[in-house]
């Protein structure tokens, strides 16, 4: 009987031709670059293969690292529990989806009693979503399945091969089209200094890219409020250089005069561009630098035949306005049954439930948006004073 097995570190990349197209997030070379390019001291890749290790019928790669289960009320973390985290984006590849259920027993053995598995961006209605959410699923024999955060809408731009920039604009709402045209027409005039966009793809450009991105990132509320900023560190530079060496890096920085004011940091594979990070200087927010940069990026991508833009996880008004496709996704923690996993899982479910109840009340009353707006304004004001 064909079974899933944890694979030792292979001497060569397995032949995945039986499994169809391999998305960037699961590409063995891409994953290796992300681990090794970031230093790799505290991360490694654990693959699970179905059948022949050289030409598998199933493939599930996890990035393993030290992490934590965060118990949160809203955006406030109450406490954390250190865990060994097996993280995976997208879903395992499997020639026969009915054999996917066999992955979870060897995964549970590998994770151990004090580890967790984390599936990021599981598509609603997919075979994996069915296994994780169906009562009586084989997954439940080994794990407690705990959703992480609410379901969200993932936004994309999808256009036919050969599409041009005007074809993209025609897929947007009429008000958005008008706003885009007005922003593009007025931006250079209102900027009062020369405006340029630079594309970064080569290893020798990485130092300049990292420095420019860090300058903009330090001014954003994400940096000061959420700790999600991008710094000009040796680790980040190494990661960018590895992506450039693999021909995946495709980043953009918008400059007014000699000052970087907005950035889009992403990677591409085939016809798809993955937009990982964006940011802009809040001091020029009235000029809509994010919209302007995005449209310049889209024109550049389409000119090179890259006709699919993936905004990745999360949703906001900007993504809603600039996308033309969407799908529903959710993140899931898999916590092993038994001690101490069962206690951790039940506590996490209780805390999440209470947090969501409070969040719905705040949302319904209008307080949630007001509080979020006030906190973000305060964070931006702090960044202005510090710079």
pLDDT tens-digit map of 78-92: 889 999 999 999 899
On whether both 18 and 65 belong to a single domain, the answer is yes
Mean pLDDT (whole number) for 268-297: 95
On whether both 343 and 284 belong to a single domain, the answer is no
pLDDT tens, position by position, 135-162: 999 999 999 999 998 899 999 999 999 9
Mean pLDDT (whole number) for 10-17: 81
On whether both 64 and 203 belong to a single domain, the answer is no
Nearest to 151 by CA among 121, 118, 117: 121
On whether both 260 and 342 belong to a single domain, the answer is no
d(CA 19, CA 89): 17
CB 34 within 8 Å of CB 73: no
Distances (CA, A) of 131 to 2, 39, 90, 99, 331: 19, 34, 14, 11, 14
Per mean pLDDT, which range of 38-52, 143-157, 177-191 is the poorest? 38-52
Mean pLDDT (whole number) for 219-243: 75
Distances (CA, A) of 104 to 51, 110, 266, 308: 15, 10, 32, 32
Mean pLDDT (whole number) for 6-22: 85
Mean pLDDT (whole number) for 310-317: 92
Answer whether residue 214 shows pLDDT above 80. yes
On whether both 100 and 210 belong to a single domain, the answer is no
How far the first Cα of the chain sits from its last, in Å, is 63
| Domain boundary, last residue among 258, 273, 306 | 306
The percentage of the chain sitting over the pLDDT mark of 90, rounded to a whole number, equals 75
Q: How many domains does the chain have?
A: 2
Specify the CATH number for the domain of residue 342: 3.40.630
On whether both 200 and 296 belong to a single domain, the answer is yes
Does residue 321 belong to any structural domain of this protein? no
What is residue 69's predicted lDDT score, i.e. its pLDDT? 94
Average pLDDT score, the chain:
90
Report, in angstroms and rounded to the nearest whole number, the Rg of the chain calculated over CA atoms. 22
Greater confidence (219 vs 108) lies with: 108
What is residue 141's predicted lDDT score, i.e. its pLDDT? 96
Answer whether residue 376 shows pLDDT above 90. no
CB 330 within 8 Å of CB 150: yes
What is residue 29's predicted lDDT score, i.e. its pLDDT? 92
Specify the CATH number for the domain of residue 167: 3.40.630.30
**DSSP alpha helices (H): ranges in 99-173?**
104-111, 127-133, 165-170
On whether both 277 and 358 belong to a single domain, the answer is no
What is residue 8's predicted lDDT score, i.e. its pLDDT? 75
Does residue 195 belong to any structural domain of this protein? yes
pTM: 0.88
Give 224's pLDDT tier (boundaries 50, 70, 90).
very low
Answer whether residue 15 shows pLDDT above 80. yes
On whether both 250 and 359 belong to a single domain, the answer is no
Answer whether residue 230 shows pLDDT above 50. yes
What is residue 226's predicted lDDT score, i.e. its pLDDT? 45
What is residue 227's predicted lDDT score, i.e. its pLDDT? 46
Greater confidence (353 vs 137) lies with: 137
Mean pLDDT (whole number) for 240-268: 96
Mean pLDDT (whole number) for 227-254: 88
Mean pLDDT (whole number) for 250-279: 96
Q: How many CB atoms lie within 10 A of CB 366?
A: 9
Whole domain around residue 340: which residue ranges? 4-151+329-377
Does residue 316 belong to any structural domain of this protein? no
Mean pLDDT (whole number) for 193-212: 97
């Amino acid at each position: 009987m064909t079974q899933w097995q944890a694979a030792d570190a292979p001497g060569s990349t397995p032949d995945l031709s039986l499994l169809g197209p391999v998305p960037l997030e699961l590409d063995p070379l891409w994953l290796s670059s992300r681990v090794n390019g970031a230093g790799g001291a505290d991360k490694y890749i654990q693959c699970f293969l179905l059948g022949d290790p050289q030409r598998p019928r199933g493939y599930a790669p996890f990035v393993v690292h030290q992490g934590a289960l965060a118990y949160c009320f809203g955006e406030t973390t109450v406490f954390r529990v250190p865990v060994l985290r097996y993280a995976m984006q997208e879903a395992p590849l499997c020639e026969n989806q009915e054999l996917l259920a066999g992955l979870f027993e060897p995964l549970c053995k590998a994770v151990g009693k004090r580890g967790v598995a984390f599936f990021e961006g599981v598509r609603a209605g997919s075979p994996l979503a069915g296994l994780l959410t169906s009562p009586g699923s084989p997954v439940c024999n080994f794990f407690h399945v705990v959703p992480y955060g609410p379901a969200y809408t993932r936004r994309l731009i999808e256009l036919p091969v050969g599409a041009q920039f005007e074809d993209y604009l025609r897929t947007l709402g009429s008000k958005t089209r008008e706003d885009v045209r007005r922003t593009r027409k007025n931006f250079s005039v209102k900027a009062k200094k020369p405006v340029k966009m630079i594309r970064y793809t080569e290893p020798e450009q990485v130092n300049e890219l990292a420095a420019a991105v860090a300058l903009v990132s330090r001014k954003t509320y994400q940096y000061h409020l959420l700790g999600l900023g991008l710094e000009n560190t040796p680790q980040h530079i190494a990661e960018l250089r590895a992506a450039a060496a693999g021909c995946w890096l495709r980043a953009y920085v918008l400059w007014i005069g000699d000052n970087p004011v907005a950035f889009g940091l992403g990677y591409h594979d085939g016809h798809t561009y993955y937009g990982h990070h964006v940011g802009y200087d809040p001091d020029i927010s009235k000029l809509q630098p994010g919209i302007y940069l995005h449209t310049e990026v889209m024109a550049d991508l389409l000119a090179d035949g890259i006709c699919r833009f993936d905004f990745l996880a999360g949703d906001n008004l900007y993504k809603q306005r600039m996308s033309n496709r969407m799908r529903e996704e959710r993140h899931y923690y898999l916590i092993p049954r038994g001690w101490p996993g069962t206690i951790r899982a039940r506590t996490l479910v209780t805390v999440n439930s209470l947090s969501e109840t409070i969040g719905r009340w705040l949302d319904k009353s209008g307080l949630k948006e007001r509080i979020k707006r006030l906190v973000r304004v305060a964070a931006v004001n702090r960044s202005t004073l510090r710079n």
